[in-house]
Structure 1
Amino acid sequence: MVDVLRGLNLLQSLKESMESNKLSEVKDAVEDLLISRINLAIVGDRVEEKISFINSLHGLCPGDEGAARSSSAVDTDDVVCYPNPKHTDFRLWDLPPVPQLSPFEPETFMDRVKFARYNAVFMTFTQTLTPGVVEVFLQARSLQQHTVYLTFLVSGNDKDKNLEEKRRASVEMLTSKGVSQPKVYLVRPSALETLDFPALLEDMTKDLPEIRSCALLMALPTLTTTLVSQKKEAFKALVWAAASISGGMSTIPVPFVASMVDSSVAVRILSKAQASLCLDDASVERLARQRGVEPLSLKALRACTLSVEVTKGEVKSRLAAAEKDLPSISSKLMQMAVPRHARSAGRSFSATLHALNAAIDDMAADAEKILASAFG
């Protein structure tokens, strides 16, 4: 937990808000993370690779409720929104391709698709970069929009030995246009855990504001064990904020009272964690179908009760048990985590922190076991 406190500027900002007695800001941050409010745009030709990319980002299969439609079902110039069925405020926007016009005005295209309103934009292509795509990318850079990523969507017909050649050709074109240290990411839409998508995700989490970065990690499907670890740390940041609210509100700690008051928030956090770690029945069954594995064998790997179902009774029981048997908490961690005016509420903070962090650890361990079994 100390690593989380040191690693996330978000937590320091929340602490400063509490020092100023601005608990409303901390509550807003908790709510924002629980909602996972983030908008990603995908620009490019409406080909099957793009449809597959959209569905993979949502962890969906073709035909699932909320899955992106085939390219023939969408008009070329339409802007189509695909909310995530499990995280409804995580929206993917299917934007039309950049027009191949001469002369071309990138500002006109960007205004038409409301380019600036998205948290990040994938500029996708399946063959070679076109001049129009490069002009839009350069215009975004000039406007200080750095969360724009050039993404080569690899098709089933692309041979691995030719991929680096295609990347090199794109990089050389960007360099000739004055782009310094250009990056082109190779992404296989049907298998995001391969090629460059993990590196792209790492760059995105660095480029985005931290609260949006956490929201993105929480909303993405579990693709790799590394992503499971990142999700776990993001949820521990959320747990810290929720525990701090508990400590900040309970200036006169009364045994068990804080746990009962905070149980509804705890249920929301752990329900969000179950969905984010893809531990619910529907997600496990979907993964089993994708990997050709028996669903029951994956479901049996869920050792934590909360991985199977998050109930208010189970959450209350864990909070009450943590409050009865509080672990020791170092004075240094207390000073880092709880503002001065709420130090007397350390019991409530510690109990909430311990109970929820232990639950997150157990659920993440189940997610790692399921991934390891499904991917061999």
Structure 2
Amino acid sequence: MADVFRSLNLLDTLKESMESNRLSDVKDAVEDLLISRINLAVLGDRVDEKATFINSLRGLGPGDDGTVPSPSSVAPEEVAGYPNPKHPDFRLWDLPPVPSTSPFQPEGYMDRYKFLRYNAVFITFQQTPHPNSVTVFLEARSVQRETVYFLLLASAKDTEKSLEEKKKASLEVLKSEGVAQPKVYLVRPSTLEKFDFPGLLDDMGRDLPEIRAHALLFALPALTPTLISHKKEAFKALVWAAASLSGGVSAIPVPLVASMVDSSIGVRILTKVQLSLCLDDESIERLARQRGVEPAKLKGLRTCVLSVEVTKGGVKKRLEAAEKDFNSVSSKLVQMAMPRHAKSASRSFAAMLQALNGAIDEMAADADKIMAAALGEGK
């Protein structure tokens, strides 16, 4: 997953916007990343596995408030929308299965359910994909829609052997229906860190537009150490953009803004970091229930005060300390962060970069410890 969400590419894009004095583009990118607006559709039979998958993508487990019920209470041909409780602009949409009737016109199904409005579509199944679902996939590809994926959802009764056989049979169905280089992702809905889900994120990171890939990254639960690492690097690209707008560099006509003002955007970013890394009390308690671990043990692993609570006073204190320690800020760090044509960075720019990046490193370290404990000791 070395370049799955391409935070360095995003940073280069933002630098180019700054160099061209397109400050509105950078501001829009910052707001878009803080909002994490993305829509994913999950197509297929409304079975337990599908409901669990949607819940897991939202960080929810059995018994949590707001979970997708199974059996579904939604009418068979209706669409149901489920927001993420921590990131309300990240929405999962439960689409009915593709009809098994013949003849079948994929355009009618896609139009009815507004197929093209979703950033990505997961076509789910438990045995093998129906030929009509493959027709929808091929039609989507014909209109340049690359973000459509086949997901084989594992059930509790499946064995490794049966899953291997199902996946092999599914690939044969796709080949027979004319799919070139078919791909099927095996997913265990209750534990997304297993099987092919990390690989699915790799591919989505390459297929989605960059801002949407980052939005997905921020909104997903902290499932694996690798995902936590990618979240950390992507947030640092966001910090750079915010610091550039707030403090400015000499090639850009942006006035110096004091730490008191910088702390407002700092609070927004670090609150987003806390929620994205699942460091808040509610997320930790939910994770503890799902993994059968004592909540107090996971909460006790947080050593950064901002992991526990993000306050304006705490962020302001870090910014002020970084400004006082301005001379020790790594010149290499600032030089790498500056647009190519900028001659110098303001004190505010360097301080914000130093303070928020340091906080993100500490919070990510806490998330790593919590995830390792939950995965290592969970039942």
Q: Please indicate the TM-score interval, normalised by the length of the shorter structure.
A: over 0.9
* In 1, Cα distance between equivalents of 2:306 and 2:172: 51
State how far apart, in whole Å, the 1-side matches of 2:277 and 2:329 are: 29
TM-score, reference length from structure 1: 0.94
Change (3 A) 1:141 1:5: closer
Match of 1:138 in 2: 138
Aligned residues of 2:7 and 2:233 also touching (Cα < 8 A)? no
The more displaced of 94-103 and 173-182 is 173-182
- Find the counterpart in structure 1 of residue 48 from structure 2: 48
- Supply the distance in 1 between the matched residues of 2:137 and 2:41 (Cα, whole angstroms): 14
**Is contact 2:4-2:201 (8 Å) kept?**
no
Whole-angstrom CA distance in 2 between matches of 1:62 and 1:226: 25
TM superposition shift of 1:262: 1.4
Q: After superposition, give the CA deviation of every residue in 1:196-242 in whole Å (9 maximum; x if it has no partner).
A: 11111111111111111111111000111111101111111111111
**SS of the residue aligned with 1:72?**
coil
CA contact under 8 A between 1:334 and 1:343: conserved in structure 2?
no
Change in 2 beyond 3 A, CA 1:314/1:332? closer
Equivalent residues of 1:236, 1:357 under 8 A apart: yes
Name the structure 1 match of 2:106.
Answer: 106
Report the secondary structure of 1:62's partner residue: coil
Moved more, 50-59 or 242-251: 242-251
Structure 1 residue 10, shift from structure 2 partner: 2.0
Supply the distance in 2 between the matched residues of 1:260 and 1:6 (Cα, whole angstroms): 32
Instruction: Call closer, same or farther: CA 1:5–1:200 in 2, change over 3 Å.
Output: closer
User: 1:358: how far off?
Assistant: 0.4
Q: After alignment, is 330-339 or 120-129 more displaced?
A: 330-339
Q: How is 1:26-45 mapped onto 2 (pairs within 5 angstroms)?
A: 26-45=26-45
Q: CA deviation at 1:36?
A: 0.3
Report the counterpart of residue 324 of structure 2 in structure 1.
324
Give the aligned partner of residue 121 of structure 2: 121
Equivalent residue, structure 2, for 1:85: 85
Aligned twin of 2:192: 192
Alignment CA distance shift 1:333-1:180 (3 Å): farther
CA shift in 2, pair 1:137/1:338, >3 Å: same
CA deviation after TM superposition for structure 1 residue 363, in Å: 0.2
Distance 2:145 2:269 in 1: 32
Give 1:60 shift: 0.6
Please state how far the C-alpha of 1:122 moved relative to its aligned partner.
0.3
* Structure 1 residues 117 and 273: alpha-carbon distance in aligned structure 2, compared to 1, 3 A threshold: same
Alignment-derived partner of residue 235 in structure 1: 235
Q: Give how far 1:5 is off.
A: 12
User: What's the CA shift for 1:248?
Assistant: 2.6
- Deviating more after overlay: 154-163 vs 297-306: 154-163
Identity over aligned pairs, percent: 68
Query: How far off its partner does 1:64 sit?
Result: 2.3
Greater mean alpha carbon deviation, residues 265-274 or residues 201-210: 201-210
Residue aligning to 1:338: 339
Give the stretch that moved more between structures: 330-339 or 357-366: 330-339
Note the alpha carbon deviations across 1:160-196, whole angstroms, 9 max, x for none. Answer: 1121111111111111222221100000000101011
Distance 1:209 1:66 in 2: 29
Query: Do structure 1's residue 258 and structure 2's residue 258 form an aligned pair?
Result: yes
Q: How many residue pairs get matched?
A: 371
- Give the aligned partner of residue 361 of structure 2: 361
Is this contact kept in 2: 1:4–1:236, CA < 8 A?
no
Structure 2: which 5+ runs fail to align? none
Q: How does 1:174-189 map to 2 (within 5 A)?
A: 174-189=174-189
Q: Which moved more, 1:159-168 or 1:111-120?
A: 159-168
Deviation at 1:93?
0.4
Q: Is the 8 A contact 1:34 1:272 kept in 2?
A: yes
CA contact 2:248–2:255 (8 Å) conserved in 1: no
Query: What is the CA-CA distance between 1:69 and the residue it aligns to?
Result: 2.2
Partner of 1:214: 214
Q: TM-score, normalised by structure 2?
A: 0.93
Deviation at 1:252, TM superposition (A): 8.2
User: Relative to 1, partners in 2 of residues 1:252 and 1:23: Cα closer, same or farther, differing over 3 Å?
Assistant: closer
Classify the secondary structure of the residue corresponding to 2:152.
strand
In structure 2, relative to structure 1, the CA distance for the partners of 1:236 and 1:148 (3 Å cut) is same
Against the structure 1 CA distance between its residues 227 and 46, is the aligned structure 2 distance closer, same or farther, given a 3 Å change threshold?
same
Q: Distance in 1 between matches of 2:35 and 2:57?
A: 17
Which whole-Å deviations, capped at 9, do the CAs of 1:282-305 have from their partners, x for residues lacking one? 111111111111110110000000
* Structure 1, 243-252 or 261-270: larger mean CA deviation: 243-252
Contact 2:77–2:96 under 8 Å retained in 1: yes
Using a 3 Å threshold, how does the CA distance of structure 1 residues 331 and 285 change in structure 2: closer, same or farther? Answer: closer
The residue that corresponds to 2:68 in the other structure is: 68
Cα distance in 2 for partners of 1:221, 1:127 equals 27
Q: C-alpha distance in 2, partners of 1:24/1:369?
A: 38
Structure 1 vs Structure 2 CA RMSD: 2.1
Name the amino acid aligned to 1:94: D
Distance 2:176 2:254 in 1: 65
Partner SS for 2:60:
coil
Unaligned runs of 5+ in 1: none
In structure 2, the CA distance between the partners of 1:4 and 1:222, relative to structure 1 (3 Å rule), is closer
**2:287: which partner in 1?**
287
